[in-house]
């Protein structure tokens, strides 16, 4: 072989080796990173064109893929968009929110548990299909929660409802208003989708926000359940005791004077624990909070789930907050009835009610009941998980009795259901500066063996008198009746 040919051969061999090294690197080391790179349009287009699995409530899909006759083979559709938007989220090119995001691997068919299905599809020369996600939501409870909340807050209002099965932690209803139509965001007309998204982003009422898990507000008097639990669990108070109260209370003679907003049943220096809860006496719970001390109250709040996040099934949930650091008595007193810096999400207050209803045991809340193959074969079922014992069983029973009395004889009687024992608590949280308050209502039923615990939050209700009992109570009642019917 003469020299020029040898040189060309050597050069070609080097090029071949370089090509093989590069191919090996791309196939075996860099493939995963390249596939997941947000700028990889081929992967994004293939994923967007794929037939995703369905998100199912009861027997009906609330998100599914239908064939499309444009450049993408399938289009995501949401049959009941307004009812479930804040749970499903929406699918767009290279992005997802809600369950579309948290369950993306199973819905897109990329989950390792679907490997055999992908292999079968490959052998059959068929397009890979995504798996399905079955939710814990009760369709009747979800409908009842949505329509009752919509009626309570009005067309311009804002609020949320969460219902939980206390014994398991299953989420039976999760509603956030205002809602939106995810079909407008999932359309293949990207210009129209962009306009729809900008309109939602510019809406001051933040319809894209899932208020059930992403909005935390002062819980107001519904937090008295936490204070009462700390008091009963401490052993220093019993359900039949007289507790300190009074027409007004000013801790250590400094700070704001606390009163009972006209509830004269609270005015005596000593009142029964039942009267304090039934008539939501601010002075009684403020005094108890100071007597219990900051550490005991914080520990009790954290046992119920404050200052942590135990909900995994949807992205971007926020922690409910009990303040840390040394609290002066004037602030600790306000914390005892859900003001100062204590803040909670609707999911958190539903967890508090559910733990009391479940004899003190707090279950981990979950929304995904089961993941399935495209042929509806079960791949995994969620097992209920006990988070912790939030309060002792005896204290939980005593607290239940106080909350039943609050419905039977006190401020929460709007949630009473004939023939059924219902436990409940109202809450109205002041936010100052002449603004209307936030309203809350939390309840569970049947009180002796609860099947459902509910939390209702009213953030805005233009043109209406906002109160926990007046607006939140009927919503909670409607949801409890829907579950128990």
**Residue 332 pLDDT more than 60?**
yes
Q: Above 90 in pLDDT, residue 34? A: no
Which pLDDT tens digit goes with each residue over 62-87? 999 999 988 899 999 999 999 999 99
Q: Which residue has the tokens 């100071």?
A: 290
- What is the reported pLDDT for 471? 95
2 has pLDDT over 90: no
CATH homologous superfamily of 222-367+384-484: DD-peptidase/beta-lactamase superfamily (3.40.710.10)
Residues with Cβ within 8 Å of 317's Cβ and at least 6 positions away in sequence, in order, are 213, 214, 309, 311, 345, 347
Give one DSSP letter per residue of 290-357, joined into a string. Answer: HHH-HHHHHHHHHHTTTTS----SSTT----B---SPPPHHHHHHHTTT-TT-BB-HHHHHHHHHHHH
CB neighbour class for 269 (10 Å; exposed up to 12, middle 13-18, buried from 19): exposed
Q: Where are the domains of the chain?
A: 222-367+384-484
Residue 262, Cβ density class (10 Å: 0-12 exposed, 13-18 middle, ≥19 buried): exposed
Which of 221, 245, 317, 373 is catalytic? The answer is 221
What number of residues does the chain have?
A: 485
Residue 24 annotated as catalytic: no
Lowest-confidence region among 18-22, 111-115, 213-217, 238-242: 18-22
Residues 413-431: pLDDT tens digits?
A: 999 999 999 999 999 998 8
pLDDT at 32 (0 to 100): 67
pLDDT, mean of residues 100-119:
88
List the one residue out of 218, 360, 348, 340 whose CA is nearest residue 290: 340
Q: pLDDT at position 254, please? A: 75
Per-residue pLDDT at 38 exceeds 70? no
As a whole number, mean pLDDT of residues 129-139 equals 96
pLDDT score of 328 more than 60: yes
pLDDT for residue 3: 75
In the chain, pLDDT over 70 holds for what percent of residues? 96
- Residue 286: predicted pLDDT: 96
Distance CA 459, CA 157 (A): 7
pLDDT digit string (tens) for 356-413?
A: 999 999 999 999 999 999 999 999 999 999 999 999 999 999 999 999 999 999 999 9
- Per-residue model confidence (pLDDT) at position 28: 66
pLDDT single digits (tens) 440-458: 999 999 999 999 999 999 9
CA–CA dist 245, 276 (Å, integer): 8
- Statement: residue 117 has pLDDT above 80: no
Is the pLDDT at 338 greater than 70, yes or no? yes
pLDDT of the residue at 372: 96
Distance of CA 174 to the CA centre of its chain: 7
């Amino acid at each position: 072989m003469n020299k020029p040919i040898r040189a060309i051969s050597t050069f070609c061999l080097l090029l071949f080796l370089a090509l093989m090294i590069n191919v090996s690197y791309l196939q075996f080391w860099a493939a995963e990173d390249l596939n997941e790179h947000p700028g990889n349009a081929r992967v994004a287009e293939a994923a967007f064109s794929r037939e995703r699995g369905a998100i199912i409530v009861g027997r009906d899909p609330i998100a599914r893929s239908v064939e499309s006759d444009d450049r993408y083979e399938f289009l995501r559709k949401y049959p009941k968009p307004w009812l479930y938007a804040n749970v499903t989220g929406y699918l767009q090119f290279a992005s997802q929110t809600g369950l579309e995001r948290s369950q993306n691997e199973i819905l897109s068919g990329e989950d390792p548990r679907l490997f055999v299905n992908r292999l079968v599809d490959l052998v059959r020369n068929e397009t890979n299909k995504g798996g399905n996600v079955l939710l814990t939501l009760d369709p009747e409870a979800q409908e009842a929660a949505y329509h009752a909340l919509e009626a309570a807050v009005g067309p311009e209002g804002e609020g949320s409802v969460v219902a939980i099965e206390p014994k398991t932690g299953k989420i039976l209803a999760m509603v956030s208003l205002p809602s939106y139509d995810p079909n407008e965001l999932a359309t293949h007309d990207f210009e129209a989708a962009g306009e729809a998204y900008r309109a939602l982003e510019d809406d001051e009422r933040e319809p894209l926000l899932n208020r059930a898990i992403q909005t935390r507000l002062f819980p107001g008097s519904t937090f008295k359940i936490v204070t009462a639990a700390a008091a009963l669990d401490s052993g220093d108070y019993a359900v039949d005791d007289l507790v300190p109260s009074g027409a007004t209370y000013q801790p250590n003679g400094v700070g704001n004077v606390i009163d009972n907003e006209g509830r004269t049943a609270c005015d005596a220096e000593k009142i029964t624990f039942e009267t304090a809860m039934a008539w939501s006496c601010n002075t009684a719970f403020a005094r108890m909070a100071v007597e219990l001390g900051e550490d005991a109250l914080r520990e009790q709040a954290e046992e119920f789930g404050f200052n942590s996040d135990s909900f995994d099934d949807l992205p971007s949930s926020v922690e409910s907050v009990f303040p840390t650091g040394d609290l002066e008595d004037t602030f600790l007193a306000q914390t005892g009835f859900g003001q100062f810096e204590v803040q909670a999400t609707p999911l958190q207050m539903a967890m508090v009610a559910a733990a009391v209803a479940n004899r003190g045991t707090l279950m981990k809340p979950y929304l995904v009941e089961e993941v399935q193959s495209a042929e509806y074969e079960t791949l995994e079922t969620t097992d209920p998980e006990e988070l912790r014992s939030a309060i002792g069983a005896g204290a939980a029973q005593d607290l239940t009795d106080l909350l039943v009395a609050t419905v039977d004889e006190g401020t929460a009687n709007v949630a009473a259901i004939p023939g059924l024992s219902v436990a409940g608590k109202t809450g109205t949280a002041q936010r100052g500066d002449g603004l209307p308050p936030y309203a809350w209502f939390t309840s569970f039923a049947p009180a002796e063996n609860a099947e459902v615990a509910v939390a209702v939050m009213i953030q805005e209700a233009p043109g209406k008198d906002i109160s926990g009992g007046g607006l939140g109570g009927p919503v909670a009642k409607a949801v409890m009746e829907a579950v128990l019917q």
